[in-house]
Structure 1
Amino acid sequence: MIRLVRSMVRLYPRAWRERYEDEFVALLEERPASVLVLYDVALGILDAWLSPQVVQERSVALTGSRMRNPVLLVLWAWAGVVAAGVGFQKMTEYADFTRVARESIAVGAAFDAVLVGAFLTLAAVLAGGMPLVVAALREARGSGRKDVPLLLCVPPLSLGVFVGYVLVLTRIVSPLLGDLAVHDPVNVMLFLSIALVFLLAAVASTASVSAAVRRSGVGERLYRFAFYPAALAALAMAVVSIATAVWGLALWWQAPALFTGDDGILATPTAASWLVILAVMGGSTCVAVAGVVRGLRARNVSPRDAV
C-alpha cells in the first residue's frame, strides 16, 4: 500500500512537491498504511489544488491563485449545469411537453426562464473566460511555451470527436440496426455511449482549460475582472436551477398524468428524470456559489496577508 501512497503524492501540485514531498513521504512511512491514510492523502491533494499555499516567487502569486481558483470552480460548475441542461432539453423536446408548455402559463414561463438563464450563464462564462484564454495564449507565445496552446486545442477537438461520434451512430450505425424499441438493450447501450462520450468531452475540455490557465502567467488583475462574470454566471445557474424546479412542480400540477408517466429520458419515469436533472443542476449551482463566496473572501486578502 505504501507504493500506492507514493503514487498519490505525485498528484500534488509541483510547487507543493518541491517544498514538502520528502518530509511528507517520510512522515507517511512512519505511519502504518491504511485506508484512512489514503483518504487523508486524497483530501490533501484536493485541498492543495483548490487552495494552494505555496508561494513560488512572491506573495502576490498566492493572492492571484486565490482569485483564480474561484473562477475555475465556477467553470467546473458550469460544465455540470450544461450536462444537466442537455438532459433537460432531451426530455422536453417531445410533443407532449411542448404542448403543455404552450397551454400552461406556469410551465411555459418556467421553461423560458431556463432558456434565459442558460443563455446568461453562457454569456457570462464567455465574458469572463475569453480574456483569460487570450491572455494565456499571449503569455505562452511570449515565453515560447507550447503546452498552453496545445491544452486550449482540447475543447474544439473534443467537440469534433463528440459530433463525429453522433454522426457515425445516426448516419451509419442506426440505419444498419433498423428500428429499435426504446428499452432494447442495443438502443440503451447506444444512448449511454453518447452520454459517456459527451461527459468525457466536457470533462476533458474543462480540465484542459483549467490546466492551461493555471500554467500561464495571467496576472491577478485579470482574475479579479473575471470574477464579476463568474459571479453573474453563478447567479444565472441559480435561476436555471430554480426555474427547473418550478417547471417540474408546475408540470405535476398542470399535467399530473405526464409527470407521473414514463416520458423521461429513455422512457424512464418523468419524475425520476426531472429529479436527477434537478439534483445535478442544484449541486453544480452550490459549487458555483461556494466559488463565488471564496472569491469574495480572497478579494479582501492583501498580498501581505496572503503570506
Structure 2
Amino acid sequence: MNIHTLLLRLYPRHWRERYEEEFLVILTSHPFSWLEGIDIIRGAFDAHLHPSLGTADKSPLEKTKHMNASLRSSLLIIFCAYIGIILPGMGLQKMAEDAEFQRIASTSSPVGITFTLVIIGAISALLAVVIGGVPIVISAIRSALVRKRYELLVGLAVPVLVYMAFLNMTQLHITLFPQGSQPSTPEHILIGRTIFVCMLLIAAIASAGSVCFTVARSDVSEHALRFAVVPSTLATLSMVLIAMATILCGFATRASASQFFAGNHGIVDMSTSGTWLGISLAMIVTSVLAVIGLVRGLSVHSTLHKITA
C-alpha cells in the first residue's frame, strides 16, 4: 500500500467509493510531494466537515438517510464536547471555592466579571443540551420500544446507574472515614483525591459512551435531529464563551493577585497556574471539537433543507 492510498484512507468511506480510483490514477501519474500530501489531508478534513461531498450520484432517499446519520454523529460530537468541558469546569469551580479566590473575585472587577461569564456560559450550555437532547432521547426510547430492542434502554439508563453508584461510593467513603478520622498525610490525601478524579473520569466516559452508543443505533426521527441544531449552536457558543472567559479569568487573577496565582491553590493542592493552564487547554480542545461538530452539523442541515425543499 503506497502513500497515496494511505492518505486517501483519511477520506470518508462514501467519498472513497465515488472518487478514490479516479484520484489514485491522477496522484500516481507523478512523483509524490509533501505539499501535495498536505493538500490531500486538508481535503480529507474538508470532506469530513461536509458529508454531502461524494453523494451526488445517490438517490434522494439514500442521500437523506446518509445526511441524517451524519447529522446525528455531528450532534453526538457536540454532546461529547459538552461532557468534556464539564470536567475541567468542575476543577475551575473547585478552585473558585477557595476563600482567597472569592475575596479576589469580590474586590477585582475583571476577575469577578470573567468568572460570572463562565457561570452564564455553563448555565446556557446546560439548558441548550437539555432542550436539544430530550427530544432525541425520547425518540430513541420510542424506537427501542417499537423495535423491541430493550438492550438499548439499558444504555440510556447507564448515566443514572453510574451517578447512583458514584454517590453511594462517596457516601461509603464518608461513612468509613468520617471527618477528623481520615489520614492526614500528604501522600494519603493525594492518593484519595487522585482516586476520586479517576472515578469521576470513568463515570463521565461510561455515561457519555453509553448514550452515544444507544443514540447511534436507534432510529431517531429526522425532526428531532433537525430541531436539535439550534440548541446545539447555542451550546457550542456557550462552550466557546466558557473557554474564553476561563482564559481571561486566569490572566485577570494573575494581574490582580500574583501571589495567589503563583501559589498552590489548584486541584489536589497543585500549582494554581498549572491547574489553570491545564483547565484552559482542556476547554480549548473541547470547544474546538464542538465547533467542528457544529460546522459539520450546519452543513448537513443545509443539505437536508435543499433535499426536502
Question: Partner residue of 1:285?
Answer: 287
The aligned length equals 259
Question: Partner residue of 1:88?
Answer: 92
Q: Does the alignment pair 1:205 with 2:207?
A: yes
The TM-score with structure 1 as length reference comes to 0.78
What are the superposed Cα offsets for residues 145-167 of structure 1, whole Å, 9 maximum, x if unpaired?
10221110000011111112222
- Residue from 265, 268, 285 that aligns with 2:267: 265
Question: Partner residue of 2:68?
Answer: 64
Q: How has the CA–CA distance of structure 1 residues 303 and 97 changed in structure 2, closer, same or farther, with 3 Å as cutoff?
A: closer
> What is the CA-CA distance between 1:185 and the residue it aligns to?
1.8
Identity within the alignment, %:
30
User: 2:118 touches 2:246 (CA, 8 Å); kept in 1?
Assistant: yes
Q: 1-side partners of 2:124 and 2:303: how far apart?
A: 29
Q: Does the alignment pair 1:126 with 2:126?
A: no
What are the superposed Cα offsets for residues 214-265 of structure 1, whole Å, 9 maximum, x if unpaired?
1111122221111111111000001111110111011001111101111111
- Residue from 233, 248, 251 that aligns with 2:250: 248
> What is the CA-CA distance between 1:266 and the residue it aligns to?
1.7
Give the alignment of 1:211-250 within 5 angstroms: 211-250=213-252
User: 1:118 touches 1:236 (CA, 8 Å); kept in 2?
Assistant: yes
Q: 1-side partners of 2:117 and 2:172: how far apart?
A: 34
Q: 2-side partners of 1:151 and 1:178: how far apart?
A: 36
Question: Partner residue of 1:30?
Answer: none
Q: 2-side partners of 1:270 and 1:246: how far apart?
A: 15
Q: Structure 1: where are the runs of 5+ without partners?
A: 1-14, 20-46
User: 2:262 touches 2:271 (CA, 8 Å); kept in 1?
Assistant: yes
Q: How has the CA–CA distance of structure 1 residues 66 and 103 changed in structure 2, closer, same or farther, with 3 Å as cutoff?
A: same
Question: Partner residue of 2:114?
Answer: 110
Q: 2-side partners of 1:264 and 1:214: how far apart?
A: 38
Q: How has the CA–CA distance of structure 1 residues 81 and 66 changed in structure 2, closer, same or farther, with 3 Å as cutoff?
A: same
User: 2:183 touches 2:189 (CA, 8 Å); kept in 1?
Assistant: no
Q: 2-side partners of 1:157 and 1:251: how far apart?
A: 39
Q: 2-side partners of 1:110 and 1:291: how far apart?
A: 26
Task: Report the RMSD for the aligned CA atoms in angstroms.
Answer: 2.7
User: 1:87 touches 1:277 (CA, 8 Å); kept in 2?
Assistant: yes
What are the superposed Cα offsets for residues 128-152 of structure 1, whole Å, 9 maximum, x if unpaired?
1110001111121122110221110
Q: 2-side partners of 1:61 and 1:255: how far apart?
A: 55
Q: How has the CA–CA distance of structure 1 residues 293 and 304 changed in structure 2, closer, same or farther, with 3 Å as cutoff?
A: closer
User: 1:63 touches 1:303 (CA, 8 Å); kept in 2?
Assistant: no
The TM-score with structure 2 as length reference comes to 0.77
Give the aligned residue type for 1:134. Answer: I
What are the superposed Cα offsets for residues 55-89 of structure 1, whole Å, 9 maximum, x if unpaired?
9x843221101111110000000011100111111
Q: 1-side partners of 2:111 and 2:80: how far apart?
A: 29
User: 1:259 touches 1:271 (CA, 8 Å); kept in 2?
Assistant: yes
Q: 2-side partners of 1:223 and 1:111: how far apart?
A: 33
What are the superposed Cα offsets for residues 74-125 of structure 1, whole Å, 9 maximum, x if unpaired?
0000011100111111112110011111111111111111111001010000
Q: Does the alignment pair 1:152 with 2:156?
A: yes
Secondary structure of 2:77's aligned partner = helix
Q: 1-side partners of 2:292 and 2:273: how far apart?
A: 28
Question: Partner residue of 2:44?
Answer: none
Question: Partner residue of 2:78?
Answer: 74
Q: 1-side partners of 2:168 and 2:190: how far apart?
A: 19
**Structure 1 stretches of at least 4 aligned residues deviating more than 6 Å after TM superposition:** 51-55
Q: 1-side partners of 2:220 and 2:296: how far apart?
A: 19
Q: How has the CA–CA distance of structure 1 residues 174 and 276 changed in structure 2, closer, same or farther, with 3 Å as cutoff?
A: farther
